[in-house]
């Protein structure tokens, strides 16, 4: 017995192609307006400019004003509760306070029993080394794993 599946698939594809062709056919009414692009808001005048108070979703932004950014800490602790969390928070605080650690993004993760994992990114190898030194000074005899990547290498 021969299967009819290939004929059914061909018929469905042909029906889709006919529908697609008819959807692209020009309208019968030559005076009809051309369709508008869906993402252009209706309040934008055709052929004109948009008033400044209507730009940027109603916000009137001053293009000459300098952008300001929120200061971000160079390091954060993933957990600050418990003894290990307090150790991680103190390490993160000292890394953030160090001016040589500017623009580093480091996460201090307490593991257990004075074990600390440093992850994130630094601007250069000196920042990676400095973060490890700060963590080792705080951890005392605890283990510090420095998995920070510098963006130079």
**Cβ burial, residue 90 (10 Å; 0-12/13-18/19+):** middle
Mean pLDDT by 10 residues, the chain (153 residues): 77 73 58 57 62 56 60 86 88 93 92 88 93 92 91 78
Q: What is the DSSP string of 27-79?
A: PS-TTSPPPPPTTS-TTSPTTSPPPGGGSGGG----TTSPP------SEEES-
Q: Which of 11-22 are b and which e, b meaning 16 or more Cβ less than 10 Å from the residue's Cβ? A: eeeeeeeeeeee
Residues counted in the chain: 153
pTM exceeds cut of 0.85:
no
Q: What's the farthest any 2 CA atoms get from each other in the chain?
A: 85
pLDDT digit string, tens, across residues 61-100:
555 566 566 778 889 898 888 888 889 999 999 999 999 9
Break the chain into its structural domains and give their ranges: 75-150
Q: What is the pLDDT of residue 45?
A: 61
User: End-to-end alpha-carbon separation of the chain, Å?
Assistant: 66
DSSP state of 121: E
Domain 75-150 falls under CATH 1.10.287 = no
Distance CA 82, CA 76 (A): 16
Q: What is the pLDDT of residue 113?
A: 80
Helices (H), 68-124: 82-97
């Amino acid at each position: 017995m021969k299967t009819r599946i290939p004929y059914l698939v061909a018929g469905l594809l042909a029906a889709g192609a006919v529908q697609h062709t008819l959807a692209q056919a020009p309208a019968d009414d030559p005076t009809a307006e051309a369709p508008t692009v869906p993402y252009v808001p209706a309040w934008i005048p055709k052929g004109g400019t948009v008033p400044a108070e209507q730009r940027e979703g109603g916000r009137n932004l001053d293009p000459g004003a300098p952008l300001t950014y929120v200061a971000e800490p160079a390091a954060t602790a993933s957990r600050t509760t418990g003894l290990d969390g307090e150790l991680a928070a103190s390490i993160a605080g000292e890394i953030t306070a160090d001016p040589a650690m500017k623009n580093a993004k480091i996460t201090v993760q307490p593991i257990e029993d004075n074990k600390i994992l440093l992850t994130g990114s630094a601007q250069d190898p000196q920042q990676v080394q400095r973060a490890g030194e700060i963590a080792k000074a705080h951890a005392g005899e605890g283990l510090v794993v420095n998995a920070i990547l510098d963006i130079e290498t």
